[in-house]
Amino acid sequence: MSLMNKMKRLISMLLVAAMIGGQAMPLQAAMIGTDSVMQQQQLQYDREQLVELLDRAEMQQQLQAMGVDSEQAKERVAQMTDSEVQQLNAQLNELPAGGSAAGVILFILLIFIITDIIGATDIFPFIDPVR
């Protein structure tokens, strides 16, 4: 037998062994539930709604009057947990249509202050984080 035939035979045996050994591991697949997909879509929509709210000129004026940069506010909305986003949107839905957004702004400021206190952000220089 030539060296080439011996190499082909060795490679063939190794491939057969790899194929047989690879079948020992069972594969699993699971369906993705509609509820989980809908929940993720809702959370994404809620975040987009908050960013759109921060893009409004009226909201940007109020944030600037309180000393908060609108870009920092948008970054913080992107970093908010899912429960914070849901809580904030629940409060937004309770506001009367055409009403003042001062409650929302105060809530956002409260979140900023809390995250500054725990050291997650550094928006307000006068707040020392807890270590």
Residue range 102-123, pLDDT digits in tens: 677 777 888 888 888 887 777 7
71, 59 in Cβ contact below 8 A? no
User: Cα–chain-centroid distance for residue 119?
Assistant: 19
Contact 94, 129 (CB under 8 A): no
Q: Residue 126's pLDDT is what?
A: 78
Q: How far apart are CA 88 and CA 104, in angstroms?
A: 7
The pLDDT of residue 114 is: 83
CA distance 31 to 62: 46
- 102 or 87: whose pLDDT is higher? 87
Instruction: Report whether pLDDT(47) > 80.
Output: yes
Mean pLDDT of 79-105: 73
